Amino acid sequence: MVDAADIKEHAEVIGADGVHVGTVDRVEGNRIKLKKLDSGMGSHKTHHHFISLGLVADIEGDKVRLSANADVAVTLEEESSGTSV
């Protein structure tokens, strides 16, 4: 498990496949809060999304690499209400 303190604001979150998932706003509890402007399209753009720290495989400088490919990680994102998307 990675240390959440190593995750920096504005770090890029990428899937295991190297595809961009979002940008870190901050860590809240056991989740990474993504920036609103980088949290999806359409109606999803008006609120934050969260990624569970359990999906973090590694932190490589200013990149947070997930253990799931980007397309899968996006389906596992949580909305700010705490429900799955």
Domains of the chain with bracketed CATH:
4-79 (2.30.30.240)
Q: Which residue would you say has higher pLDDT here, 58 or 37?
A: 58
Parallel, antiparallel or unpaired: strands 63-66 and 12-14: parallel
At 1-24, the pLDDT tens digits run 689 999 999 999 999 999 999 999
Specify the pLDDT at position 43: 43
Specify the pLDDT at position 42: 44
Specify the pLDDT at position 71: 86
Average model confidence (pLDDT) across the chain: 83
Beta strands in the chain (DSSP E): 12-14, 20-28, 31-34, 49-52, 56-60, 63-66, 78-79
Q: Is the pLDDT of residue 53 over 90?
A: yes
Q: Which amino acid is at 85?
A: V
- In what order do the strands lie in the sheet containing 56-60? 56-60, 63-66, 12-14, 20-28, 31-34, 49-52, 78-79
Q: Which residue would you say has higher pLDDT here, 82 or 50?
A: 50
C-alpha atoms less than 13 angstroms from C-alpha of 81 in its C-beta half-sphere: 5
Q: Is the pLDDT of residue 39 over 90?
A: no
